[in-house]
Amino acid sequence: MNTFHAMNTDFLLAGLTQTKAAAVQISIQEAQHRFSRFEAESEISRINRHSGQWLTVSELTFQLLQAAIDAYEETDGLFHPFLGEMMQQIGYDRSFEHLNAPPDWGTFRSARVAVAPTADCPLSVYLELEEKNSQVRLTPGVSLDLGGIAKGWIAQQNCDRLQLEGVSSGLIDAGGDVVLWGRHPQHTLWGVGVASPGSSGSDIAALWCEGTTAIATSSIVKRRWRTRTNKDQHHIIDPRSQGPADSDLLQVTVLARDLISAEQYAKCLLILGSQTGFAWLQRKKPTLAFIAVRSDGRVISSDNLHWYCSEWEVQSNANVI
């Protein structure tokens, strides 16, 4: 196994040769320097600084922006990559571990943005793409924040490339969001644990998978702080309210065939909550599976985990719907 830190998280690579693992690490580190809104010379920072101007970007960044737009449209704007200005204004202007003081949501009530593209508010209000020359133009007053998709997207890109190169199996863990393919070199099935949202260090589920499978978890527990008014807050924004998501879910894990879908829909379910979110997912993406933890401690899982797992165990007190 290979481990390294990049994109503000810990990566783990398994089942790859040293040469292939080194190539993946270089790819992800390069992506960090292109995609981070915390690095002044990254392409995303340059786009944000020069809003209103057409800029030529790398093919890699252009593809990520297209994927982010697709996710935004597909989720009716619940996955929202245009909230960078909001994050800046609340003080979340550097990676979380380097914040000198906790951001305070109570101080931000301006620069409201629309939720989803409509006839009256098209996507071009935020960002325009010109594919021929890999050019982009961001609307003034809008700022990109691709933290919710970038690490999963680059992990999936590497997974796809390795398979095209003939690598029959492997696993890429991007800070707990996992994409795997083929079979484990020694144990046939890949084993993936879903950690409890609490501090116990225990798992709420164990999944054994083979073939291309993506598993992503979104949580309001991992990055929390107390505001100056002594209010508990977190970093998952509900674009409808322009504030932290306030649902009955603490954590959501989504299983899909690609990590981009798993990440975006885990975040959406976390925002929507159990009463609205599960029915919404069934309408939008019935092929996805999930394991969710409610604020009352209940673990709820969909009835289609068998589509992705050869074997699985979910905490015994779980509700299965």
Say if residue 26's pLDDT is above 60: yes
Within a domain: 255 = yes
What is the per-residue pLDDT for 318?
Answer: 65
Q: How many residues does the chain have?
A: 321
Within a domain: 155 = no
Distance CA 223, CA 217 (A): 13
Compute CA distances 199 → 173, 231, 273, 293, whole Å. 20, 20, 22, 14
Compute CA distances 264 → 18, 170, 177, whole Å. 31, 23, 11
- Concatenated DSSP letters for 73-114? HHTTTSS-S-BHHHHHHTT--S-GGG-SS---GGG---S---
pLDDT in tens, 262-288: 999 999 999 999 999 999 999 999 999
Q: Which of 78, 126, 82, 83 is nearest to 103 (CA)?
A: 83
Within a domain: 183 = yes
What is the per-residue pLDDT for 271?
Answer: 94
CATH of the domain at 305: 3.10.520.10
* 96-100, 138-142, 184-188, 267-271: segment of lowest average pLDDT: 96-100
Within a domain: 142 = no
Distance CA 44, CA 149 (A): 13
Q: At what angle do helices 18-35 and 59-74 cross, to 10 degrees?
A: 70
Task: Give mean pLDDT, residues 255-265.
Answer: 97
44 φ/ψ angles, rounded to the nearest 5 degrees: -65, -40
Distance CA 298, CA 314 (A): 11
Task: Give mean pLDDT, residues 141-157.
Answer: 91
Within a domain: 225 = yes
Residue with tokens 């079979």: 183
What is the per-residue pLDDT for 85?
Answer: 54
What is the per-residue pLDDT for 89?
Answer: 47
Distance CA 272, CA 296 (A): 16
pLDDT in tens, 183-241: 998 878 999 999 999 767 789 999 999 999 999 999 987 654 444 545 555 468 888 87
Q: Which of 143, 177, 166 is nearest to 264 (CA)?
A: 177
Residue-range definition of the domain harbouring residue 276 = 166-320
Q: Is the Cβ–Cβ distance between 162 and 152 less than 8 Å?
A: no
**Residue 301 or residue 239, greater confidence:** 301
Within a domain: 172 = yes
Query: How high is the mean pLDDT of the chain?
Result: 85
Question: Domain count of the chain?
Answer: 1
Within a domain: 217 = yes
Q: At what angle do helices 150-164 and 259-272 cross, to 10 degrees?
A: 150
Within a domain: 292 = yes
**Residue 76 or residue 16, greater confidence:** 16
Please give the radius of gyration of the chain, using alpha carbons only, rounded to the nearest integer.
Answer: 19
Q: Model-level pTM?
A: 0.85
Q: Is the Cβ–Cβ distance between 66 and 60 less than 8 Å?
A: no
Tokens of 26: 């270089």
What is the per-residue pLDDT for 242?
Answer: 72
